[in-house]
């Protein structure tokens, strides 16, 4: 009877059986248990919120008759959907913790990627090699033919970009994503990398170490953070050069010879601790190929003259180095949110790989074979470069917020220079202790800005 009265008065009670809220929202029960009995037993109701004296009789009450009990409870109970929407909006206002373990596995990402994205087509891969090599020789021939002061700078920029494209194809050979034939990968990789003075096997092995340990403070190989202790052991000149444009963008040749601070060995030395004993023959082979290319360049300098050699090869080579350092640095630094680095049990291959970044390079995306599509490449380096975009789009629903959407670029990625400069001013070292750490800022380094 009481339920009927309240319903007729515009208040619909909750049904006796209803789903358990998914958000953890639980209504608080009224402490005083009220029992509706005879209207003459008013003295049993001590709660002043209920005044039933205004109801003359429950017998024969008409549906058209107004009956509004004077209660302090709201006349409308909010729905669970409204509550969940409020909680969702509230959650969006809080910063997402990129360092938290993801709720998915590597196998979940892999399952979302179409099967054909894993297929390696050596003919298609070779077509990119032929295209790039033809452009390289075409640019050189055009520069020599025109030979004037305004075409040479354009040539240096264009040819440096094409050298970088050659490196990316050799990089695919190193990962085995060029083809399923190891011999073909090795031959093509040696030709491409030696032509731009990169020791193929020496680099391939250290780059493999980078992929297998990315995000680990001590074990990562390239562009890993300096610990506070190592950072403070650097002299002031080294410290300032390391974090001042353009010097970090010229680092790759020096890294090949000496690696980075805190690590020893050389990519040319078969006895370096970069390599295990059964890899030494490969390292020797690559060093011999590198030496042969260097000798060829010296010989050509005698034939066409050192100035012409610098114009045709030397300056484009340094343009390639700048591209390599810029792109690889921005794969792992410069996001608006601080990226985590790990130690000990907190590190895993998945968590480390998720701290990489995709970047949009505008017209350059196709020229350098979509290497800016880097997150999926880091997790699954076996995927050929021509399937990376499709694989990334398929994986995004699984990655969720762990995938950081890149800023759209114009025809040329000038916007990335701001990210580079800001990162070099802020990302200097990480703590010597802690299993999940973030870059800290040394405000005494020239031009540093306050860290977020």
pLDDT tens digits for range 160-170? 999 999 999 99
The pair of structure tokens assigned to 5 is 């009265």
Distance CA 383, CA 379 (A): 10
Confidence of residue 438 (pLDDT cuts 50, 70, 90): very high
Structural domain ending residue among the three candidates 49, 84, 119? 84
Looking up tokens 């077509």, which residue turns up?
Answer: 127
Top pLDDT among 435 and 7 is at: 435
Q: What pTM was estimated for this model as a whole?
A: 0.78
Q: Is pLDDT of 39 > 70?
A: no
Looking up tokens 């484009």, which residue turns up?
Answer: 316
Distance CA 201, CA 182 (A): 12
Residue 189 has a pLDDT of 98
Say yes or no: 306 and 392 in one domain.
yes
Residue 262 has a pLDDT of 81
Say yes or no: 172 and 311 in one domain.
yes
The pair of structure tokens assigned to 215 is 């995000």
Say yes or no: 160 and 23 in one domain.
no
Interval 112-116 mean pLDDT: 98
Distance CA 342, CA 352 (A): 7
Q: Are 113 and 394 in contact (CB under 8 A)?
A: yes
Residue 65 has a pLDDT of 44
Distance CA 300, CA 138 (A): 18
Rg over alpha carbons for the chain, rounded to the nearest Å, is 33
Q: Is pLDDT of 388 > 90?
A: yes
Say yes or no: 117 and 29 in one domain.
no
Interval 28-51 mean pLDDT: 43
Say yes or no: 110 and 66 in one domain.
no
Say yes or no: 45 and 137 in one domain.
no
Percent of the chain with pLDDT over 90: 71
Strands (E), 179-220: none
State the greatest distance between any 2 C-alpha atoms of the chain, in Å, as a whole number.
119
Residue 94 has a pLDDT of 57
Indicate whether 94 belongs to any domain: no
3-state secondary structure of 95: coil
Q: Are 155 and 143 in contact (CB under 8 A)?
A: yes
Top pLDDT among 446 and 13 is at: 446
Say yes or no: 363 and 316 in one domain.
yes
Say yes or no: 68 and 145 in one domain.
no
Residue 187 has a pLDDT of 98
Q: Is pLDDT of 192 > 70?
A: yes
Residues 6+ apart with CB under 8 A from 310: none
Residue 239 has a pLDDT of 87
Mind listing the pLDDT tens digit for each residue in 269-307?
999 999 999 999 999 999 999 999 999 999 999 999 999
Structural domain boundaries enclosing 374 = 106-437
Residue 222 has a pLDDT of 84
Mind listing the pLDDT tens digit for each residue in 311-331?
999 999 999 999 999 999 999
CA triplet 448, 360, 205: central angle to 5 degrees?
Answer: 80
Say yes or no: 267 and 151 in one domain.
yes
Q: Is pLDDT of 103 > 70?
A: yes
Say yes or no: 46 and 130 in one domain.
no
Backbone angles phi, psi at 216, to 5 degrees: -95, 125
Q: Are 188 and 178 in contact (CB under 8 A)?
A: yes
Question: What is the total count of domains within the chain?
Answer: 2
Q: Are 326 and 249 in contact (CB under 8 A)?
A: yes
Indicate whether 100 belongs to any domain: no
Structural domain ending residue among the three candidates 84, 118, 136? 84
Q: Is pLDDT of 87 > 70?
A: no
- From residue 139, how far is each of 162, 311, 451 by CA, in Å? 9, 12, 44
Indicate whether 148 belongs to any domain: yes
Structural domain ending residue among the three candidates 30, 54, 84? 84
Indicate whether 431 belongs to any domain: yes
3-state secondary structure of 384: coil
Top pLDDT among 98 and 27 is at: 98
Distance CA 73, CA 34 (A): 15
């Amino acid at each position: 009877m009481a339920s009927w009265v309240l319903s007729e008065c515009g208040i619909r009670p909750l049904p006796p059986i209803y789903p358990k809220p998914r958000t953890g929202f639980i209504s608080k029960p009224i402490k005083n248990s009220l029992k509706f009995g005879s209207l003459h037993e008013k003295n049993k109701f001590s709660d002043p919120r209920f005044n039933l004296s205004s109801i003359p009789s429950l017998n024969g009450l008409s549906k058209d008759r107004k009956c509004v009990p004077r209660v302090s409870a709201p006349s409308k109970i909010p729905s669970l959907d409204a509550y969940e929407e409020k909680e969702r909006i509230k959650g969006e206002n809080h910063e997402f913790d990129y360092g938290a373990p993801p709720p998915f596995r590597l196998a979940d990402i892999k399952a979302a990627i179409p099967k054909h994205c894993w297929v390696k087509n050596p003919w298609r891969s070779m077509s990119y090699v032929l295209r790039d090599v033809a452009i390289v020789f075409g640019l050189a021939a055009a520069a020599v033919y025109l030979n004037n002061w305004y075409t040479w700078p354009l040539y240096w920029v264009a040819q440096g970009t094409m050298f970088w494209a050659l490196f990316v194809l050799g990089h695919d050979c190193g990962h085995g994503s060029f083809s399923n034939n190891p011999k073909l990968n090795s031959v093509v990789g040696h030709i491409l990398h030696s032509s731009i003075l990169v020791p193929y096997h020496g680099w391939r092995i250290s780059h493999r170490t980078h992929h297998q340990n990315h995000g680990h403070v001590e074990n990562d190989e390239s562009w890993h953070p300096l610990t506070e202790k190592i950072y403070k052991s650097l002299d002031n000149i080294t410290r300032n050069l390391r974090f001042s444009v353009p010097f970090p963008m010229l680092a790759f040749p020096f890294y090949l010879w000496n690696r980075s601070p805190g690590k020893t060995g050389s990519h040319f030395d078969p006895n370096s601790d970069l390599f295990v004993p059964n890899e030494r023959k490969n390292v020797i082979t690559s060093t011999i190929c590198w030496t042969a290319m260097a000798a060829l360049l010296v010989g050509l300098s005698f034939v066409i003259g050192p100035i012409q050699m610098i114009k045709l090869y030397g300056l484009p080579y340094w343009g390639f180095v700048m591209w390599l350092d810029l792109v690889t640095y921005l794969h792992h630094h410069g996001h608006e949110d601080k990226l985590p680095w790990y130690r000990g049990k907190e590190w895993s291959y998945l968590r480390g790989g998720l701290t990489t970044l995709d970047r949009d390079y505008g017209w350059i995306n196709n020229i350098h074979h979509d290497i800016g599509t880097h997150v999926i490449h880091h997790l699954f380096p076996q995927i050929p470069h021509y399937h990376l975009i499709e694989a990334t789009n398929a994986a995004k629903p699984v990655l969720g917020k762990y995938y950081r959407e890149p800023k759209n670029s114009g025809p040329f990625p000038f916007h990335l220079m701001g990210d580079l400069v800001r990162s070099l001013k802020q990302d200097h070292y990480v703590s010597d202790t802690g299993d999940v750490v973030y870059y800290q800022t040394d405000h005494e380094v020239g031009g540093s800005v306050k860290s977020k």
